[in-house]
Structure 1
Amino acid sequence: MDYKSIAKKIIDLKNADLALREKLVQNGQLGEGYNEEMKELHNRNARALNDFIEVIGYPTIDKVGPEANEAAWLVIQHAIGLPRFMKKCAALLKTAVMNNKADPKYLAYLTDRIAVFEGKPQLYGTQFDWDEQGYLSPNFYDDLTKVNQRRESIGLNKLEDQTVIIRQRAKIENQLAPRDFEKRKREIEEWRKNVGWIK
């Protein structure tokens, strides 16, 4: 079966996501909570990708090529309001990685994102958020030495180096720390409950 048309559609989903993100960066709106337009796009993209998964299974490299495989991961990574979908995809991605049909880095990012939303320590330190001092810092993780060992095992740089990169990118994109840290924390907790990450 030829999956070229599906691959192109998956890449189109990713491009729409990145275009909207760039628009929000240009308007200085990226750090202002979960933008409504972005939320709608993320959910729409996830539904479309889920339809493709129903037809072809997980979009592995051998089926759709490396670009669409990466695009599928990005859509899943951004489907933050759909816990069941993200967890389902994480299980499929884990199988794909075990069969050398997807990049283990994608699984690391997705595993960490799910852990953070569930209030668990991340394993690879891939997820960052603003801290009380107004810096982007890694979300809670278990042990720095272990995190760096896990990162190295899949070809990621040291967490300390990644922190510098993340903060530099935020500066370039004019991302600003939330004005009211405690209020934002409360809003995130409420959102996590509402969408079903925590009870």
Structure 2
Amino acid sequence: MNKNSIAKKLLALKQADLDLRNQLLQGGQLSEGYNKEMEALHRSNAQQLAQLIDTIGYPTVERVGEEASAAAWLLIQHAISLPDFMRRCRTLLEEAVRAGQADPVHLAYLSDRIAVFEGKVQRYGTQFDWDAEGRLSPQLLDDRAMVDARRKAIGLNTLEEQTELLRQRADGEKQVPPGDARDRKRAYDIWRKAVGWID
């Protein structure tokens, strides 16, 4: 496969992901747990991406172009039921960022996402969820001041600004918090254990 055909494939996989998300959002199904159809698509996309990585290595800007590299990152971010794949990609992404061939913002998001699923604190404050008051809020942080310093160092806005943006987006999309927070947390922990995020 040449660079253009690889890029087209990655962009097509990303578009399929976004199309399904929009469909579920329009149907009011986005906040009802991890939709089975979406999980199947995420797994399929990750499998295709894993085969590509086995062939060319991490899809860096140099290998596939900036837009397709960002698409690959989104597919990785959404492969949440495949912890080993996400962790493998984080290692590859770390190497690519050190070589100046990938966006450090992507690494921040992926590292935080993995940390949250593992029940650890996040360092960049990129991962949000509904809080007890029914508002989108950052998940557990290590140190608020350091989080903002790290965000600034890689070109991100402040955590306060990001929180406001995400809340506005959720309002605009008519997203609503899940009904029973305790039931949701219980189901989430069962799922995390089942797929291998926690023991």
CA shift, 1:2, in A, is: 3.0
Aligned-partner Cα distance in 1 for 2:9–2:144: 39
Aligned-partner Cα distance in 2 for 1:32–1:187: 11
Query: Which residue does the alignment assign to 1:116?
Result: 116
Query: Which residue does the alignment assign to 2:45?
Result: 45
Query: Which residue does the alignment assign to 1:106?
Result: 106
CA shift, 1:25, in A, is: 1.2
Aligned-partner Cα distance in 2 for 1:108–1:140: 15
1:192 paired to 2:167:
no
Aligned-partner Cα distance in 2 for 1:86–1:96: 15
Render the CA deviation track for 1:119-144: whole Å, top value 9, x for unaligned: 00000000000111111100001111
| Structure 1 counterpart of 2:96, one-letter code | A
CA shift, 1:189, in A, is: 0.6
Render the CA deviation track for 1:130-169: whole Å, top value 9, x for unaligned: 1111111000011110000000000000001100011111
Aligned-partner Cα distance in 1 for 2:193–2:53: 27
Runs of 4+ in 1 over 4 A off after TM superposition: none
Query: Which residue does the alignment assign to 2:96?
Result: 96
User: 1:129 aligns to what SS in structure 2?
Assistant: strand
CA shift, 1:62, in A, is: 0.5
Query: Percent of counterpart pairs with the same letter?
Result: 59
Query: Which residue does the alignment assign to 1:67?
Result: 67
Aligned-partner Cα distance in 2 for 1:21–1:102: 25
CA shift, 1:29, in A, is: 1.0
Query: Which residue does the alignment assign to 1:22?
Result: 22
> Over aligned residues, Cα RMSD in angstroms?
0.8
CA shift, 1:90, in A, is: 0.3
User: 1:137 aligns to what SS in structure 2?
Assistant: strand
TM-score when normalising by structure 2: 0.99
Aligned-partner Cα distance in 2 for 1:79–1:2: 25
Query: Which residue does the alignment assign to 2:31?
Result: 31
How many pairs are equivalent? 199
Structure 1: tracts of 5 or more residues without a match: none
Render the CA deviation track for 1:80-131: whole Å, top value 9, x for unaligned: 0000000000000000000010000000000000000000000000000011
TM-score when normalising by structure 1: 0.99
1:11 paired to 2:2:
no
| Structure 2 counterpart of 1:137, one-letter code | S
| Structure 2 counterpart of 1:134, one-letter code | G
Structure 2: tracts of 5 or more residues without a match: none
Aligned-partner Cα distance in 2 for 1:17–1:178: 22
| Structure 2 counterpart of 1:90, one-letter code | R
CA shift, 1:26, in A, is: 1.0
Aligned-partner Cα distance in 2 for 1:171–1:36: 25
Query: Which residue does the alignment assign to 1:148?
Result: 148
Aligned-partner Cα distance in 1 for 2:67–2:11: 7
User: 2:129 aligns to what SS in structure 1?
Assistant: strand
